Chain A
């Protein structure tokens, strides 16, 4: 058996009757056993399609796709024995209680009545839901629901766990709860594939990250490698007078072609390598030329900027079109 828990070669999928192009357009991905792999991309990049194919919910049009050493199409049953899935929408029976849900899924995993009951108790305890196990899931908070959903996907301690945007729609507290739970899984040997729209989330949880856009992987590596590739931090300068934007662009001690200008917000933005030197240089240059700034700030690049940099097109502009 190879070291890869997930192998995806040239995966293709186009939805029939769909208006857009292919959802997956020759996607390649390899995830090593026991690691957390982040799949990062904007809405519509193909993240959910990829997870649904890996979890045997959707058939690919083409490609070789294996999970835990088994083909997702020909050996779907063998794959299902070895995976857990946390989808974007809570995959729970809302009318039933938390404990009833876990026992139901345990029985469907053929644990038998007694073991299903015991396992439900263990998981409720582990995810701090013991006190609310009798309550109907529809009365749960968003964070509790997500934890129960995660517990349900861990019924059989799966070899491979898929988390599709596990924190989308959660408040910061719910997000922290889910992150904590995911971290506790790692080290138990479970391979995790995590999709997210948040750079920070991938950064926090994943050993390696694949950036996905328009159904393909456009870059992959560790968080540090990717950050280095996209130029690290950025500096934002807001001017008092939009008429001076041209002057300011000429003054900034950074490469001219990397500067973006937003006239409406009187904003210049540029990537920087040495944070403090860049900040000092910008302040000095503006002062010497008598250009008045309203605000100057250093910040991490946003996901939009990462994609603009790596794919050469602006995702927001695409959505607006």
Chain B
């Protein structure tokens, strides 16, 4: 077999390893899927209900929650990579004649699968609440594509942070920090309703770029036509920085 074939089969084996882990921890998988649903319900009914704009707020909130869920995925990736690094199993992988990148490729494939599943569950619950995408099939697929692209960027930031920090204590710090970073976005409220300085920060948040573009593609309130490019460029820019950094860090485990 050629090197390329090995790279593919090894990556697939590592992806299957993650899927086998899901089978071993079904409760953890369900909790992961239910958590964003809980957030959606909480904000939809508590915050949205209080405002008395629940129908329209739901149209604003759903894309925000989808984007926020993708951003929070960073934390899950970081936890998983940190655990591997601290368990010694990574030493076995690295001492075996397997394709170098398969550990990271397997990780990203499994995390992307989990996120796609998370998106599907969240969209199904939103639909059950009466939310509808109004941008047509092309808009719908485009929106899902942008969300997954954003998740992919978050994934590589997560891998990089885990390789840099490498310690469970620092995972906790990141777990806490994703909250303010996630909430300093337009996921729940339009930046127009905020003080100027805060509005500016919020608008620059990559999460906001994706949420705004997705709102546009779903045909809901808070969308800006022509914002799609920002939701493509931001994640790609993050990937351009963090993908090579993470790969380099991984190769440098042998230093």
Q: Which A-chain residue is minimally distant from B103 (CB atoms)?
A: A108
A80-128 residues at the B interface, CB under 8 angstroms: 80-81, 83, 85, 87-97, 100, 104-105, 107-110
CB of A28, distance to nearest CB on chain B (Å): 22
Also in contact, A58 and B96, with CB within 8 A (given A89-B87, A93-B21, A110-B9): no
Q: Which B-chain residue is minimally distant from A15 (CB atoms)?
A: B255
Contacts of A81 in B (CB 8 A): 97
Q: Mark B1-42, 1 if CB is under 8 A from A, else 0.
A: 100001001100110010011001100000000000000000
CA A56 – CA B100 in complex, angstroms? 13
Contacts of B25 in A (CB 8 A): 95
The binding surface of chain B is classed by DSSP as: helix
Tell whether, in the assembled complex, residue A89 and residue B21 are in contact, meaning their CB atoms are under 8 Å apart. Answer: no
Contacts of B102 in A (CB 8 A): 108
Contacts of A316 in B (CB 8 A): none
Tell whether, in the assembled complex, residue A16 and residue B255 are in contact, meaning their CB atoms are under 8 Å apart. Answer: yes
What number of A residues sit within 8 Å (CB to CB) of B?
33
Residue B91 lies at the interface, judged by CB distance under 8 Å to chain A: yes
Tell whether, in the assembled complex, residue A108 and residue B96 are in contact, meaning their CB atoms are under 8 Å apart. Answer: yes
The binding surface of chain A is classed by DSSP as: loop
Tell whether, in the assembled complex, residue B13 and residue A108 are in contact, meaning their CB atoms are under 8 Å apart. Answer: yes
CA A27 – CA B6 in complex, angstroms? 36
CA A92 – CA B13 in complex, angstroms? 15
CA A80 – CA B254 in complex, angstroms? 14
Q: Which B-chain residue is minimally distant from A16 (CB atoms)?
A: B255
Residue A57 lies at the interface, judged by CB distance under 8 Å to chain B: yes
Q: Which A-chain residue is minimally distant from B17 (CB atoms)?
A: A104
Residue B88 lies at the interface, judged by CB distance under 8 Å to chain A: yes
* Extra 7 A-B pairs, beta carbons < 8 Å, given A80-B96, A85-B92, A96-B17: A56-B95, A58-B255, A89-B88, A95-B25, A108-B98, A110-B1, A110-B6
**Shortest Cβ-Cβ A-B pairs, 7 listed:** A89-B88, A91-B92, A80-B97, A91-B88, A108-B98, A85-B95, A55-B95
